[in-house]
Amino acid sequence: MISAAQIPIFIVIVPFLAAFLISIAGLFKEKYCQPLSVLAMSVSLYAAVATLIHVINHGVIHYHLGGWPPPIGIEYVIDHLNAMVLVIVSFVGFIVSIYSKKSVEQELPDKIPQFYTLYNLLVTGLLGITITGDAFNLYVLLEITALTTYALIAVGRGRAALSGFNYLIMGTIGASFYLLGVGHLYIMTGSLNMADLHQLLPSLYGSGAIFIAFLLILIGVWLKMAFFPMHGWLPNAYTYAPSSTSCLVAPLMTKVSVYVMIRIMFSVFSPKFTFQEFSFHEIVVWLAVVAIVGGSLFALTQKDFKKMLTYLIIAEVGYMVGGVWLANHNGIMGAVLHILNDSMMTLCMFLVVGIIVYKTKGHHFDNLGSLYKKMPFTMAAFTIGALSMIGVPPTAGFFSKWYLILGAIDANQWEFLVALIFSSLVNVVLFFRIIEFAYYPSFSNQHGDAHGSEKIDEAPASMLVPLLIVAAGLLVIGVFTGKIVTYIIQYTIPNGL
Amino acid sequence: MKAIGLITVFSLGMALFYATIDFPPWADPQSPASLHVSPHYIQETMKETDVSNVVTSVLADYRGFDTMFETSVIFTAGIAVILILRKYSKKEDEKFLPEVSEEAEPDIIIQTVTRIIVPFIQLFALYVIAHGHHSPGGGFQGGVILGASFILLAISFNLKAMLRRISERKDILLGGIGLLIYSGIGALCVLLGANFLNYKVLHLIIPEASQVEARSYGILGVEIGVAIAVMAIMIAIYANLSSDGKYDKGL
Amino acid sequence: MELILAKYNYWIYVFLMMIGFYAMIVKNNLVKKIIGMSIFQTAIILFYVSIGAKKGATIPIIEHHAHSGAIDPAHYINPLPHVLMLTAIVVSVSTLGVALALILKIYHQYGTVEEDEILEQIQ
Amino acid sequence: MIWQFDLIILALVVISAIAAITIKDLLSAGVILGAYSFLMCLLWTEMGAVDVAFTEASVGAGVSTVFMIAAVYKTTRRTKD
């Protein structure tokens, strides 16, 4: 009875319904929460993959919610770009929902139903942001993701509550700026639908209000993705969050925000406005350069594995924002490809951190001692992830960096090229230092009972299998980069660039 | 820090002020916002949905998808507060206790007035929910008022008195059920072969209803769902905030 | 003068927003930041409601005698911003609830709600 | 719409906003925020946004104020700014 045209709605609605079922199921039997969550995520992933295949074969899908045509109602618009992001989000959601079982049981033993309810709502929010074609609907979903993230971060240990509060303040400012920008667009045009705005706006380019609207939306989105001058909230928030939270939030939050930025720049406004009327793109690339260099340098000074990774996230945001604002084909292709690669690399790294926290109760460098002997599979996956972060050829990270470098050369923005190479060199130092720490026993127990602790002590299968899948995925994406570019990425370049 | 803050605030103010120069004059009937999309809602609402309050018809039907997520924002907040604050075991004591902790004597006048007034508040809330089609109001306002009547009970007696009427489990259950009503009506439309939240196909299962009336009933259904969810979550947030998540005597 | 009469409503919203934003980023007390946040969000709602206002129009509820015959859109206020702002109000109360829950948790951890005192304790 | 009424409410809104963030007692600040919300609600009724005003009266002026006061009761009224 359900026709194939209804498939896109299942991507969002299944995790959404599951959230309430989980909260009710949690009142009766807590052990059903995690399997329900996995089930919902797998249905969502299946629907997302089916949609992606449909988009590749037949082009853009429009889905009218409530049967109302836009701009009267809300519509879903799925093109190559967001079909790909949908698959990434639902894949990460699926992987982490399997992985989280042991980790949540250890860190939040009495709040399991609430955790999985919010988990499903968070994934729903991210999927909804990606799929929607309505500027205001995006705001509502932005707030769902924000509220769930504040709570999921704040239940961590130590400074988590304070970091969560700072994130709340910054996140609310970001969302309010976005809402204000949409209000400016609405007062000037009378529409909220993205495609409709794209039609109406060109006659208003040059108006001060439109310029301010663009600026407000950009600043709002930059706050959400922790782009350079507005990155202060991110490191503490992600470091003190529970491992399952950071595994889900760290790979997705910044990438979905980058997606929103691309959507606003090219689908609501146009490349002509963004790069000619606005004419700030060289400054933005410079900001990205500062983000990359600064993020890498701060990462060097850290003595904590997880905190180091959070600074690398800031550097990676610089990659993507810089790539988009290079304003040429290779730059944008590199940035879009990096959304895919970086979410997989970050996921891989945070999964490793989660396992280390599960086994050694900490993420400081001291906790890494002789891990290569204790957990060979985990550390093998870590090595693949590290090589990809550095950008060594067969892994995925190399290819997006290659496109970004080509884009920098095309745009004559040599500073961006230098920053990319500098950051790769810093990554080499960072990850080889960690490999060294993990190869030898740590200093603190070198003299004591070092011999007893060197037996293989691998993580449980429910954590290890997802990690190995992701690590293998990094290699697979690397090998099939050519296919991904021909079938998906090259369609994401806006018309009229 | 203060100087940077002031500079940021003033640059924001100047930017927004600069933007207002291009705005159409305030309350201008010829502004784009009044001409582009909104006339459709005003002209067609009676014909298409049989609801005379345009805000309700846009809220629950034309942009019903927004409203579903808006309700789930509240639900999210409720679960988030429970996740952050709720303490299930007695053993973890706080290091720092609130500064005002003297216990007030129960006041007979307040308690009697509350006893008399609460049923009327609840009756009014039900009226607001049911009459949202034709007058200001609807699920949100009604749900908040319903929740407020329980909060009034908790303030004038104590939290235990409220929890005797609506326990924690029942509360969370109601919150989930309210949202399941909303999204379930949407999913029912998909099962009947139309797009999500397209209430007009409900005429297949509602006896003697035309497609337009089916929309009207669909709107009423989701408003009831919203009201239940909002009431339950308001109670949950208050209960957690006022007792530090311990669900003891409250304020 | 014309300009002032046409725009003063917008300027009030800009001013309220500046007050709220100032409190959010400069104030040291966490509860004060939350109060600033409420003012900030309410100012945005005021802005949207101002977009919907229409001179010489009545509230957006269709009158009963108007059921038959054409309805003049200029006769009713634009309902769309109202709908959007119902959402925004709900979002602001949800954010407030979560923020207050976080403040309670922070207070139990550090015994104060002043940001500088908390940072001193951490160091 | 009566412009005198409009101006008085706008002035009161601005005054209560400034008072809410400057007063050195969190309980009072919470109550003034409730008054601010209620004035806003009057302003919106006057602009014809009845549904928004109704929601603000029940949510902003009602429940939010209760939440705020509950939280202040459970922590402290003291503030340095």
Instruction: For chain B, list the contacting chains (3+ Cβ pairs, <8 Å).
Output: A, C, D
pLDDT at A448: 47
CB-CB neighbors (< 8 A) of B77 in chain A: 147
Question: Domain limits of chain B?
Answer: 53-87+109-251
Record the tokens describing residue C9, joined without a space. 């409503």
CB-CB neighbors (< 8 A) of A21 in chain B: 176, 180
Burial class (CB in 10 A: 0-12, 13-18, 19+), A351: buried
CA neighbours within 13 Å on the CB side: how many for A180? 33
What CA–CA distance (Å, rounded) separates A29 from A116? Answer: 13
CB-CB neighbors (< 8 A) of C9 in chain B: 26
pLDDT at C101: 93
pLDDT at A2: 62
pLDDT at A444: 57
For the residues C14-33, what does the mean pLDDT come to?
91
Work out how many domains chain C is built from and give that number: 1
What CA–CA distance (Å, rounded) separates B32 from B26? Answer: 12
Alpha helices in chain B (DSSP H): 2-20, 32-35, 38-49, 54-57, 64-85, 108-130, 139-156, 159-165, 168-191, 211-243
- Span A393-440, pLDDT tens digits: 888 888 889 999 999 998 888 899 999 999 999 999 998 888 888 887
- Span B167-217, pLDDT tens digits: 889 999 999 999 999 999 988 998 888 888 888 888 888 888 888 888 888
Among A16, A20, A63, A240, pick the best mutation site for testing chain B contact (most B Cβ within 10 A): A20
Residue C98 in any domain: the answer is yes
What confidence tier does D6 reach under pLDDT thresholds 50, 70, 90?
confident
* B182 has a chain C CB within 8 A of its CB: no
pLDDT at A496: 72
- Span B67-109, pLDDT tens digits: 999 999 999 999 999 999 888 876 555 667 666 655 667 788 9
Contact call for residues A195 and A73 (beta carbons, < 8 A): no
pLDDT at B238: 93
pLDDT at A433: 87
pLDDT at C7: 79
Nearest CA in chain D to B137: D51
Record the tokens describing residue B15, joined without a space. 């930017």
Which of the two residues, A373 and C105, has the higher pLDDT score? C105
CB-CB neighbors (< 8 A) of B138 in chain D: 51
DSSP state of A230: G
Instruction: Indicate the residue of C37, C81, C122 with minimum beta-carbon distance to A172.
Output: C37
- Span A459-482, pLDDT tens digits: 888 888 999 999 999 999 988 888
pLDDT at B42: 87
ipTM comes to 0.95
- pLDDT < 50 positions in chain A: 448-452
What CA–CA distance (Å, rounded) separates D79 from C79? Answer: 41
What CA–CA distance (Å, rounded) separates D2 from D47? Answer: 10
Domain that holds residue C98: 2-54+75-122
* C24 has a chain D CB within 8 A of its CB: no
- Helices A7-28 + B168-191 axis angle, to 10: 160
The number of C-beta contacts closer than 8 angstroms across C and D is 132
Touch between chain D and chain C: 3 or more Cβ pairs under 8 Å:
yes
- Amino acid letter, residue B82: I
For the residues D42-54, what does the mean pLDDT come to?
89
Helices (H) and strands (E) in chain A, counts: 20, 2
pLDDT at C115: 87
Give the residue from A263, B71, A124 showing the smallest Cα distance to C94.
B71
CATH code of C117's domain: 1.10.287.3510
Round the CA-based radius of gyration of chain A to a whole number and report it.
22
pLDDT at D46: 86
- Span A33-61, pLDDT tens digits: 899 999 999 999 999 999 999 999 988 99
Contact call for residues A352 and A360 (beta carbons, < 8 A): no
Residue C63 in any domain: the answer is no
Contact call for residues B38 and C72 (beta carbons, < 8 A): no
* C118 has a chain A CB within 8 A of its CB: yes
Angstroms from D69 CA to nearest CA on chain C: 10
Residue A219, C-beta contacts closer than 8 angstroms, at least 6 positions apart: A174, A177, A230
Residue C92 in any domain: the answer is yes
Among C71, C102, C118, pick the best mutation site for testing chain B contact (most B Cβ within 10 A): C71
What confidence tier does B116 reach under pLDDT thresholds 50, 70, 90?
very high
Percentage of the residues of chain D whose pLDDT score is greater than 90: 54
Nearest CA in chain C to B14: C14
SS3 A478: helix
Record the tokens describing residue A124, joined without a space. 């729903």
Record the tokens describing residue A368, joined without a space. 């890494």
Contact call for residues A238 and A310 (beta carbons, < 8 A): yes
DSSP state of A132: B
Partners of residue A64 on adjacent β-strands: A75
Angstroms from A194 CA to nearest CA on chain B: 14
Contact A165 C44 (CB under 8 A): no
Residue C69 in any domain: the answer is no
SS3 A304: strand
Predicted TM-score (pTM) of this structure? 0.94
